[in-house]
Amino acid sequence: MLEEIDPIHLISASRLDCVVKYDFFRSLMTGMDVQPSELRYRWHVAQRTGGREPADFHGRQSAKTVVDDYVVSARSLLESMRVRGFDKADAVPVGSDGLLLDGAHRVAAAAALGLPISIERHERPGYSWDFSWFKDKGANKANLGRLLHSWVRLKSDSSVFIFWGPVLHHWESMQAALLPEFEVVGGIDLAFGTSEAAAFQSLVLDCYALDTQDLFGMINYIGVKAERLTNSPMFIRIVVGRTTSPNVEPSLAARAVKERLRDMAHPSVDRALFMSCHASSSYWEALYLAEIFLNPVNIAHVRLRRSAKPRDQFITWCESTRKKVLDLGLTLADVCVVGSGPLEAVGLRNATDIDITLRSSLRRRLFDAEVTHVQKDLDVVTEGYHRTADRPWISDDHLIESPENHFTMLGLKFASLSLVCDRKRHSGRAKDLLDVELLGRFVDTRSLRALSD
């Protein structure tokens, strides 16, 4: 008997290969991050089959004999489903445990296109490719973080848990204690050395910066916690979980579990100091925590920071920018700081003001394509910030949407220094060339670019 289902429901923690395929299909549809998503797709195909696809569920032989065949077939499948929709005559077989027996590409493509699919259930278990499979196959930490980040962006019932260094010896038992309320999708660990104490403290401040309306108050309060955390190993574990009960709001479940985890860690750290763990209190916070902890481009920029917090003038500008963005009816996820702001965010030099760009659809509604002075020390720059002669142009939408092209500080997105360097080199003005020289002395922008290539 056939059932019609939203394909998102079939992308489970046991089928993370579907997330890799989904990312590839989405990149083909949007034109964003096609090269890095294709490389990750190629890697997982090579690890799974070596490029030679076995017969399908019905015993039909495949023509795919090398990885290139998979890429060509995936592109063809997406175009076919885009034009014709999902072929109900070719239902996806699903096992008794809810896992796919075949058809992962069709599920991922349908999810990317927003199409329902037909499934047929069978009395045998399906196949699993979970987080441990990716680790065992040698996926590096950057790509493991990307995998979990993509999961959170795809699954609205996700929660993100942060375990701090003072309870390092409790991490395993704390992660196990997420059950039964949460299924653990996966997790990664981050380490900061003593020379990175300021960067680590800055990252802790970012963790709590999303919803505050008083950046100075938050920095003063959380800054004490950040300093205390540097007295223990500056280690962090980030765990992504999915609520196991469809009738419980994930944020409520996460809050209850967080309190239980703090009780467990109490022998190691005074519960009142809140130095054991943190958990997302909403899906928007889960997205934000994934953005700052699981995005390797963000972590690379965090490690460049030379102080725990920016100068007061810059904090004031960030606070007023955040307020103005919200007053305009936008969200902080809709805009990105460009120009000299990213240079100050990592401590290279003081900015002169805040320049932002925003999503093209919102720009058309609120501004025109030229420079717009919004308020004192805040301008919207000309549309199309990125300029370069030696790699593909990146649109403002791509800059804002893709985690490969920006980093986050105090709740605001900032253009990656590799893109800032591109723009300033292309401009050729004396002051911009001095910034390029400064970047060249202190930052390996080629390494930052490589993270997104």
Cis peptide before 180 (omega within 30 of 0): yes
pLDDT of the residue at 238: 98
Element containing residue 2 per DSSP (H, E): strand 2-5
The answer to whether 240 and 250 are in contact (CB under 8 A) is no
Domain ranges across the chain: 2-132, 141-302, 312-451
pLDDT of the residue at 447: 76
pLDDT of the residue at 452: 65
Question: Of 264, 265, 244, 268, nearest to 254 (Cα)?
Answer: 244
Q: Is the pLDDT of residue 453 over 70?
A: no
Question: Of 280, 293, 267, nearest to 159 (Cα)?
Answer: 280
How buried is residue 225: exposed, middle or buried, by Cβ count under 10 Å (0-12/13-18/19+)? middle
Give 108-149 pLDDT, tens digit per residue: 999 999 999 999 999 999 999 999 999 999 999 999 999 999
pLDDT band at 443 (very low <50, low <70, confident <90, very high): confident
Distance CA 307, CA 296 (A): 20
pLDDT of the residue at 168: 95
pLDDT of the residue at 182: 95
pLDDT band at 421 (very low <50, low <70, confident <90, very high): very high
Give 314-339 pLDDT, tens digit per residue: 999 999 999 999 999 999 999 999 99
Distance CA 20, CA 45 (A): 10
| Averaged pLDDT for residues 15-37 | 96
Distance CA 126, CA 223 (A): 48
- For domain 312-451, is the CATH number 1.10.30? no
pLDDT of the residue at 63: 87
How buried is residue 435: exposed, middle or buried, by Cβ count under 10 Å (0-12/13-18/19+)? buried
Counting runs of H as helices and runs of E as strands, what totals does the chain give?
19, 13
Element containing residue 372 per DSSP (H, E): strand 372-375
- For domain 141-302, is the CATH number 3.40.50.2000? no
Coil vs helix vs strand at 156: coil
* Crossing angle for the helix pair 17-30 and 34-49, to the nearest 10 degrees: 150
pLDDT of the residue at 148: 98
* DSSP at 187: E
Give 199-245 pLDDT, tens digit per residue: 999 999 999 999 999 999 999 999 999 999 999 999 999 999 999 98
* DSSP at 349: S
pLDDT of the residue at 227: 96
pLDDT of the residue at 170: 94
CB proximity list for 410: less than 8 A, separation 6 or greater: 205, 206, 209, 215, 310, 315, 318, 322
186: left (phi over 0), alpha (psi -120 to 50) or beta: left
Measured torsion, CA atoms of residues 63, 69, 70, 72, in degrees rounded to the nearest 10: -120
Q: Is the pLDDT of residue 399 over 70?
A: yes
Write the single-letter amino acid at 64. Answer: K
Q: Is the pLDDT of residue 37 over 90?
A: yes
Sheet holding 354-358, edge to edge: 372-375, 378-380, 354-358, 335-338, 412-415, 406-409
Q: List helix spans (H) across 155-211.
A: 171-176, 197-207
Strand intervals (E) in 30-157: 92-94, 117-121
Name the one residue in this structure whose structure tokens are 């004490």: 224
Distance CA 319, CA 326 (A): 11
Give the chain's mean pLDDT. Answer: 94
